[in-house]
């Protein structure tokens, strides 16, 4: 149950910060600690730790000295990336596109069979 709550908390941080970071600093491989601290200032302390683990270069975080962040980064890697190492770019790609956002349908076949059908 605790892992489920942690995954939900991580997804919430990804959803809140990804758009803000790309809009403010552009898409990049890693963000600096200052950029993450500034963007996540209104989040709770635990969510700020999650944001650091998600978007900052692990060498900048000095994970060997901070075991809590190291454990959290390992959990994120196992839950979202199959145990492989990841970058901030990989985290940003998790958000993905949401598909059709409304608007006019010009395709009669999609109208008949549904918006997400391929006939």
Nearest to 53 by CA among 29, 84, 81, 74: 74
Beta-strand ranges (E) seen in the chain are none
pLDDT-derived band at 96 (thresholds 50, 70, 90) equals low
Report field, pTM of the whole predicted structure over 0.85:
no
Q: CB within 8 A of 37, min separation 6: which ones?
A: 48, 52
To 10 degrees, what angle do helices 2-25 and 88-95 make? 100
| pLDDT 10s digits, 23-76 | 898 888 999 999 999 999 999 999 999 999 999 998 888 888 889 899 999 999
Residue 38: what pLDDT?
Answer: 93
Question: Which tokens is 87 given?
Answer: 């970058």
Report the alpha-carbon distance of residue 4 to residue 2 in Å, rounded. 5
């Amino acid at each position: 149950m605790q892992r489920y709550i942690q995954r939900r908390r991580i997804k919430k941080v990804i959803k809140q910060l990804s758009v803000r970071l790309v809009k403010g600093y552009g898409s990049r491989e890693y963000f600096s600690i200052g950029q993450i601290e500034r963007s996540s200032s209104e989040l709770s302390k635990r969510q700020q730790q999650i944001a650091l683990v998600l978007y900052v270069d692990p060498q900048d975080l000095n994970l060997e000295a901070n075991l809590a962040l190291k454990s959290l980064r390992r959990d994120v890697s196992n839950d979202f990336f199959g145990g492989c190492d990841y970058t901030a770019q990989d985290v940003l790609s998790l958000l993905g596109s949401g598909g059709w956002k409304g608007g006019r349908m010009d395709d009669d076949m999609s109208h008949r069979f549904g918006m997400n059908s391929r006939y």
